Structure 1
Amino acid sequence: MTKTTITTTQRWVLGLSALASFMVVLDLLVVATALPSIRRDLGASLEDLEWTVNAYTLSFAVLLMTGAALGDRLGRRRMFAAGLVLFAAASAACALASSVGALVLARTVQGAGAAMIMPLALTLLNTAFPPDRRGWATGVYGSVTALAVVLGPVLGGAVTEGMAWPWIFWINVPIALLAAALVVFRVPESRGGAIRVDLAGLLLGGLSATGLVWALVRGNSAGWGSAETIGAAVLGAGTLVAFIAWERRAPVPMLPLRLFGSRSFSAGNTAMFFLSATTTAAIFFTAQLFQVGQGLGPLAAGLRLLPWGILPVVLAPSVGALADRIGARNLIALGAAAFAVGTAGLALTAVPHVSYLVSVMPLLLSGAGLGVAIPAVTRSAVSLVAPPDLAKASGAFSTMRQLGGAFGVAIGGAVFAQTGGYGSAARYIDGYTPAVLVAAALALCACAAGLTLPRTVMAAPSTPPPPAVERV
Structure 2
Amino acid sequence: MENVTKPWPALWSLVIGFFMILIDTTIVSVANPSIMKALDADVNAVIWVTSAYLLAYAVPLLITGRLGDRFGPKNLYLAGLVVFTLASLWCGLSGDIRTLITARVLQGLGAAMMTPQTMAVITRIFPPDRRGAAMGLWGATAGVATLVGPILGGVLVDSLGWEWIFFINVPIGIMGFVLAWRLVPSLAKHQHKFDIPGVVLSAVGLFLLVFGIQEGEAYKWGIIAGPVSVWGLIISGLVVLVAFVVWQRFNKGEPLLPLGLFRDRNFSLANIGITTVGFTVTSFGLPLIFYYQLVRGMTPTQSALMMVPMALISGGLAPVVGRIIDRVNPRYITAGGLVLMAVALFWNSALMHPDTPILLFLLPSAVLGFANAGIWAPLSSTATRNLPPRQAGAGSGVYNTTRQIGAVLGSAAISVLMQARLAEELPKAPGATGEASPLVFSGRLPEALHEGFSTAMGQSMLLPAAVIVLGAAVALFFAKPKPVRGWGEAPVPIPDSAAAESSAPGR
TM-score (norm 2): 0.82
Q: Counterparts of 1:191 and 1:164 in 2: how far apart (Å)? A: 44
C-alpha deviations, 1:378-428, integer Å up to 9, x for none? 333222445543432222111111111111121121111111155224443
Match of 1:30 among 15, 27, 32: 27
Could you say which structure has the higher helix fraction?
1
What is the identity, as a one-letter code, of the residue corresponding to 1:269?
N
Partners of 1:268 and 1:377 within 8 A in 2: yes
What is the identity, as a one-letter code, of the residue corresponding to 1:42?
L
Query: Could you say which residue in structure 2 is the equivalent of 1:435?
Result: 460
What is the identity, as a one-letter code, of the residue corresponding to 2:230?
T
Partners of 1:13 and 1:125 within 8 A in 2: no
Query: Could you say which residue in structure 2 is the equivalent of 1:219?
Result: 216
What is the identity, as a one-letter code, of the residue corresponding to 1:340?
A
User: Is 1:102 matched with 2:99?
Assistant: yes
Match of 1:305 among 307, 324, 329: 307
Q: 1:73 to 1:6 in 2, by over 3 A?
A: closer
Moved more, 443-452 or 298-307: 443-452
Query: Could you say which residue in structure 2 is the equivalent of 1:247?
Result: 248
Q: 1:281 to 1:74 in 2, by over 3 A?
A: same
Partners of 1:413 and 1:435 within 8 A in 2: no
Partners of 1:308 and 1:363 within 8 A in 2: yes
Match of 1:155 among 152, 159, 165: 152
Partners of 1:81 and 1:184 within 8 A in 2: yes
Residue 279 of structure 1 deviates from its aligned partner by: 1.8
C-alpha deviations, 1:227-275, integer Å up to 9, x for none? 3312211221111111110111222122212222333222221121112
Q: 1:427 to 1:14 in 2, by over 3 A?
A: same
Moved more, 126-135 or 322-331: 126-135
Residue 167 of structure 1 deviates from its aligned partner by: 0.9
Q: 1:379 to 1:172 in 2, by over 3 A?
A: closer
What is the identity, as a one-letter code, of the residue corresponding to 1:408?
G
Q: 1:76 to 1:462 in 2, by over 3 A?
A: closer
Match of 2:191 among 194, 207, 230: 194
Partners of 1:79 and 1:116 within 8 A in 2: yes
Residue 95 of structure 1 deviates from its aligned partner by: 0.9
Match of 1:90 among 71, 87, 91: 87
Q: Counterparts of 2:135 and 2:376 in 1: how far apart (Å)? A: 17
Q: 1:318 to 1:249 in 2, by over 3 A?
A: same
Equivalent residues in 2 for 1:115-134 (5 A)?
115-123=112-120
Partners of 1:339 and 1:440 within 8 A in 2: yes
Q: 1:206 to 1:323 in 2, by over 3 A?
A: same
Q: 1:441 to 1:316 in 2, by over 3 A?
A: same
What is the identity, as a one-letter code, of the residue corresponding to 2:268?
S
Query: Could you say which residue in structure 2 is the equivalent of 1:231?
Result: 232
Residue 286 of structure 1 deviates from its aligned partner by: 1.4
Query: Could you say which residue in structure 2 is the equivalent of 1:204?
Result: 201
Equivalent residues in 2 for 1:9-408 (5 A)?
13-14=10-11, 16-123=13-120, 147-177=144-174, 179-180=176-177, 189-226=186-223, 227-250=228-251, 251-352=253-354, 354-408=356-410
Residue 357 of structure 1 deviates from its aligned partner by: 2.4
C-alpha deviations, 1:111-153, integer Å up to 9, x for none? 1001112223454577678999977766666655655344322
Q: Counterparts of 2:468 and 2:362 in 1: how far apart (Å)? A: 19
User: Is 1:453 matched with 2:481?
Assistant: no
Moved more, 424-433 or 219-228: 424-433
What is the identity, as a one-letter code, of the residue corresponding to 2:470?
C
Q: 1:275 to 1:141 in 2, by over 3 A?
A: closer
Moved more, 43-52 or 287-296: 43-52
Residue 93 of structure 1 deviates from its aligned partner by: 1.6
Q: Counterparts of 2:326 and 2:128 in 1: how far apart (Å)? A: 19
Q: Counterparts of 1:359 and 1:254 in 2: how far apart (Å)? A: 44
Q: CA RMSD in A?
A: 3.0
What is the identity, as a one-letter code, of the residue corresponding to 1:244?
V
Q: Counterparts of 1:463 and 1:382 in 2: how far apart (Å)? A: 12
Q: Percent identity?
A: 29
What is the identity, as a one-letter code, of the residue corresponding to 2:96?
S
Residue 358 of structure 1 deviates from its aligned partner by: 1.9
Q: 1:256 to 1:288 in 2, by over 3 A?
A: same
Q: Counterparts of 1:464 and 1:171 in 2: how far apart (Å)? A: 41
Q: 1:324 to 1:121 in 2, by over 3 A?
A: closer
What is the identity, as a one-letter code, of the residue corresponding to 2:82?
V
Residue 465 of structure 1 deviates from its aligned partner by: 2.4
Q: 1:450 to 1:179 in 2, by over 3 A?
A: closer
Q: 1:33 to 1:211 in 2, by over 3 A?
A: same
For residue 216 of structure 2, give the secondary structure of its aligned residue in structure 1.
helix
Q: 1:187 to 1:366 in 2, by over 3 A?
A: closer
Alignment: residue pair count: 465
Q: Counterparts of 1:252 and 1:435 in 2: how far apart (Å)? A: 42
Partners of 2:72 and 2:186 within 8 A in 1: yes
Moved more, 83-92 or 178-187: 178-187
Partners of 2:214 and 2:413 within 8 A in 1: yes
For residue 195 of structure 1, give the secondary structure of its aligned residue in structure 2.
coil
Unaligned runs of 5+ in 2: 423-436
Residue 321 of structure 1 deviates from its aligned partner by: 5.0
Higher relative contact order (CA 8 A, sep 6+): 2
C-alpha deviations, 1:405-460, integer Å up to 9, x for none? 11112112111111115522444323211110111111111122223434x55456
Q: Counterparts of 1:181 and 1:366 in 2: how far apart (Å)? A: 34
Partners of 1:13 and 1:128 within 8 A in 2: no
Partners of 1:157 and 1:301 within 8 A in 2: yes
Partners of 2:25 and 2:282 within 8 A in 1: no
